[in-house]
Amino acid sequence: MADILHSEIIEPNIVLILDEFYEALLRHPSTAKLLANFSIADLKRTQRAYLLSLGQGFLLPHYFEGRLKIGLAHVRVGLKPALYQSAYRVLQQSLIDHIPPHHEHCRALIAFILKITMLDMSLAIESYEQGITTSLKDSLATLEDEKLHLADQIATDALTGVLSRKRILEILKTKLEPHQPCQPISVLMADLDHFKRINDTYGHLFGDAVLKDAALRMRTAIRSVNALGRYGGEEFLIVLSDTTLKQAQEIAERVREKVAKEPLNINHTEVHITISIGIASGTLGESPEHLIERADSALYAAKRQGRNCVACYDPQEAGI
């Protein structure tokens, strides 16, 4: 129907339709006042392009994007929705008036004109009501930037800069899914020793600085393919891909040594920080909660052994 509308109604009568359209608008005081700020010839050229695209590919995304941009343009020039609706009614009537009364597709053409112009009007009014004052391209780009920024915020722990609890658990869950290639997965549960004492002695801001530094030291001690996240408080979870229990022990020792190697100096106050680490290896299909529970059990074993040490999960010690 769009092809018939263009070949038999719009294209043969486009000059007349444009003249009728702007004559009707200029008779209305409100639109006449608004149009006085623009060149009618320029407006006609723009409206001509609009008419030649009317209904062409209206089911495709680019059609909707183009119509929203038209609405945004009218927002920028101050065309109120009521005036916009009036202009569309004028256009509808002009197009319908140019359909020959005995045209074999008369009813279908009228229905199509009403449908497509109402669609265009709805899109334009929607953009106005949303208060959009920039082009659709800029709006989409801004939205995408905000989406990425939000995703980054959700995925990153704001204090330490490592992965958030939510994100590290998502990674672990993915690594344990049954359809993953069969490879050993190990986790390290690390906890800063005597962190409450540090907070109580030096204050929470000092404690925050300790957490940041400890996270940085841990991050530099593991490979980029592995993942480090803040599990909560002073606890950190490290997910080791393609890593056996023995290899995990070696990595855990490296992480522990890296944290304890040098004292931390903050505002001329020097403190020695250490961590205890629990290790557990998982199997595909195992729940993240169960694997973390086993690593946590190993962590408590490391604490009982005097802290600043590494312990592997022991089913017998856990009472299993």
Helix (H) or strand (E) run with residue 265 in it? strand 264-266
Cβ atoms within 10 Å of 172's Cβ, excluding its own: 22
Give the ranges where the chain is alpha helix by DSSP (H): 2-4, 11-27, 29-35, 40-53, 61-77, 81-97, 106-129, 136-155, 165-175, 195-202, 204-220, 245-260, 288-304
234 catalytic? Reply is yes
Catalytic residue among 146, 234, 257, 262: 234
Q: What are phi and psi of 305, to 5 degrees?
A: -80, 0
- SS3 (DSSP) at 280: strand
Cβ atoms within 10 Å of 159's Cβ, excluding its own: 12
What residues are labeled active site? 234
